[in-house]
Amino acid sequence: MTTTERDVRDYVNNRALEFDSLAEEIYNTYDLFRMEIEDECASVQHEAELCIGAIEELIDEYKSNTTAKR
């Protein structure tokens, strides 16, 4: 299945709602995704994978840090 721009946008919005304390960083990552695909130097699929991977890493770090503080 090919990831579309809409898929990424929906994913970003859902993750930002779920992790509201990370929303700014999540949207910054999405902005980078949009800039990269607008340059047309990279495929949407490749940039989508990078964007989603970066957001998941951000969330994993957040979860790890909040769990450690308990």
Return d(Cα 66, Cα 70) in angstroms, integer.
7
pLDDT surpasses 80 at 69: no
Q: Could you please report the per-residue DSSP string of 3-62?
A: PPHHHHHHHHHHHHHHTGGGHHHHHHHHHHHHHHHHTTSS-HHHHHHHHHHHHHHHHHHH
The pLDDT score that the predictor gives to residue 1 is 57
Give residue-wise pLDDT tens across range 9-44. Answer: 999 999 999 999 999 999 999 999 999 999 877 899
Query: φ, ψ for residue 49 (rounded to 5)?
Result: -60, -40
